[in-house]
Structure 1
């Protein structure tokens, strides 16, 4: 899955190599099955040594999910940029537009990746681990919004709970979207998931 390439020339070059290796890995996983492919086979298919592959990806799971590495911070940045007067729940919903942009940009590839993750226990576990990191990043971003508004944040427990609920909404919306073979409107599904937490919904 494509990722934005920003930073120094070295960073851009590294991101380009990672994206190319990830594409090779994904095609092999899709054809042979995630559990049936070794790192050595991934390296051979990509035309690099095993050690070179491992410099870019420490695990097979990371080769599939590397696009998520920076995405949590991008959502957190988007959250901090939301209007100060906006309530946390609305701000979280709008910030998650960053996370679903890739599904609008290339729904066919996004659906294939999502299916692979959902059907592979090791990938599901790794994705959950990454989302735990998102949860704390979004919780801190919400706490920062409170501080910026002039009221010091006592702690990040409440914001982190709201961030966790928002990420659950995203996961459930993606489950429904995947079940529909990508035919449902993911943005509308996410709106409905968020609305389910609204009092009286």
Structure 2
């Protein structure tokens, strides 16, 4: 299924939702096999915004998703999450926003380097998601931007089967790790100097 087909599928699903609260299982089913990719995008995107506390909350969801990708990549939505319900209006809006996003992003994506973005990649994408979730969780100034961007790129790469985009996600993730480590070391050295602990 192409990313444009996924966008069409989400629009049809949004129009066909029954009245009343919508279980997450129904939303996952609407995505077909791409629910993990879409969840990466949905959880990572708000972390790009400078909203205090949002990264702390969403990083926990990203960590759970990372564990699912790592330990049970071929299973469906975990039972506890599947039973959660969203208001129908919120579910329709979420599906429509994702469909619009996929419609726009398809212009720069296409299936390529399939080995880098297929199902077999999820054994290392899980640990990567966990690591990026940890970086988002840490209180590093502007530290959410690169790890969140890395996970968004990875989600789109999975949905579009775009291995080149997955390489971009990995590169961005490596940059996030390097910059966060440098900032933490600088913070440690500055704190040690202020406390008179430096040699």
The alignment's TM-score, normalised by the length of structure 1, stands at: 0.30
Larger RCO, structure (CA 8 Å, separation 6 or more):
2
TM score, norm. by length of structure 2:
0.31
